């Protein structure tokens, strides 16, 4: 190796490293910009309806008939908002105990030979596409419910299918949180002669609380944002449900159903509902994050 080669090598490396760093920064900027772009486009597209119709009328108009435009049409999103909240809340209520028990099953109750395949099964459940859940709900679950209480396509069907879909999120988060419980806590409980459930409810679950809560919140976000499954099983009638057997339409289903032909203020109103969703879900994500952070600090 001759020393004469060094200077040329030096400037080449120097520039290529600079180039690399700037390329990577560019990637970071572009990636970070996606969220901003989404927000910007939703706001810009919503602008027509927000200024023409006004935010208030989305809650106070008598009904949802938006295709006539801002002046003649009506823009009440409340039934859809309610549909979204009810399906999501129901799903979380059903899935949280099931997910939690699933995690306890894997981590505590099942013998290793059963726990391993069960965890794999939960992972597989997480990977099944929502459209497959929706389709199965449509051809199996909805007719089943219809046998007891027609029409079958209902809030209940939506809740059950959504619960199935978000269960893995909760189960896997709870499983991870339980595995993070320091063993000295458990040893301490054992030293006190506590029974299994006493140890779980008194020591392990409280210690895993924040991890489980994060999982539940993220699952709620998924449920709020889910489209295909609820679109296929909820009946999509724009009305306030009187019971769990009544059909509902969620915000997401509403967008999916009407986007194809919506124009003008109608299209813009759909973007407003997208904006609602984005705000709701981002709020949940940030809440989950702050729980995580508090755990790290506290």
Which residue from 71, 147, 148, 183 is in contact with another protein, where contact means CB under 8 A? Answer: 183
13 binds another protein (CB under 8 A): yes
Residue with tokens 């190796």: 1
296 binds another protein (CB under 8 A): no
5 binds another protein (CB under 8 A): yes
Closer of 112 and 243 to another protein (Cβ): 112
Size of site (CB under 8 A) for another protein = 104
CB of 171 to another protein, least distance (A): 8
User: Hey, what long-range contacts does 266-271 have (CB within 8 A, 24 or more apart)?
Assistant: 266/66, 266/67, 266/69, 266/73, 267/45, 268/45, 268/46, 268/47, 268/48, 268/49, 268/50, 268/52, 269/49, 269/53, 269/58, 269/66, 269/75, 269/77, 271/42, 271/45, 271/46, 271/49
Q: What sign does the CA torsion over 47, 275, 226, 82 have? A: negative
* Alpha carbon distance 76, 66 (integer Å): 9
Q: Under a CB-based contact definition with an 8 Å cutoff, are residues 259 and 242 in contact?
A: no
Provide the mask over 137-176, with x wherever binding to another protein is found by CB under 8 A and - wherever it is not: -xxx-----------------------x--x---------
Segment lying near another protein (by CB under 8 A), choices 62-70, 71-79, 219-227, 241-249:
219-227
Which residue from 157, 166, 170, 232 is in contact with another protein, where contact means CB under 8 A? Answer: 232
CB of 249 to another protein, least distance (A): 13
Q: Under a CB-based contact definition with an 8 Å cutoff, are residues 154 and 247 in contact?
A: yes
Beta bridge partners of 65: 74
35 binds another protein (CB under 8 A): yes
Subset of 103-132 contacting another protein (CB under 8 A): 104-112, 115-116, 118, 121-125, 127-132
265 binds another protein (CB under 8 A): no
Closer of 53 and 106 to another protein (Cβ): 106
């Amino acid at each position: 190796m001759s020393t004469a080669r060094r200077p040329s090598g030096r400037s080449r490396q120097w520039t290529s490293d600079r180039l690399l760093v700037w390329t990577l920064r560019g990637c970071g900027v572009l990636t970070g910009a996606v969220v901003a772009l989404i927000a910007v486009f939703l706001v810009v597209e919503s602008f027509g309806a927000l200024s023409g119709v006004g935010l208030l009328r989305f809650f106070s108009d008598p009904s949802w008939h938006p295709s006539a435009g801002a002046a003649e049409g009506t823009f009440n999103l409340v039934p859809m908002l309610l549909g979204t909240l009810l399906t999501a809340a129901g799903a979380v209520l059903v899935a949280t105990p099931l997910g939690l028990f699933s995690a306890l099953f894997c981590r505590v109750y099942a013998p290793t030979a059963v726990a391993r395949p069960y965890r794999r099964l939960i992972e597989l459940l997480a990977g099944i596409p929502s459209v497959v859940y929706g389709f199965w709900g449509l051809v199996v679950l909805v007719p089943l419910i219809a046998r007891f209480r027609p029409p079958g396509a209902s809030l209940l069907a939506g809740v059950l299918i959504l619960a199935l879909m978000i269960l893995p999120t909760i189960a896997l988060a709870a499983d991870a949180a339980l595995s993070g419980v320091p063993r000295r806590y458990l040893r301490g409980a054992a030293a006190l002669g506590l029974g299994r459930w006493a140890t779980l409810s008194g020591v392990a679950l409280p210690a895993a609380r924040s991890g489980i809560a994060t999982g539940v919140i993220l699952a709620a976000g998924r449920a709020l944002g889910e489209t295909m499954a609820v679109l296929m099983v909820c009946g999509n009638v724009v009305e306030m449900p009187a019971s769990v057997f009544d059909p509902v339409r969620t915000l997401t289903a509403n967008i999916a159903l009407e986007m194809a032909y919506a124009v003008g203020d109608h299209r813009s109103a759909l973007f407003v509902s997208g904006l609602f969703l984005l705000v709701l879900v981002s709020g949940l994500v940030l809440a989950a994050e702050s729980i995580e952070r508090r755990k790290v600090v506290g």
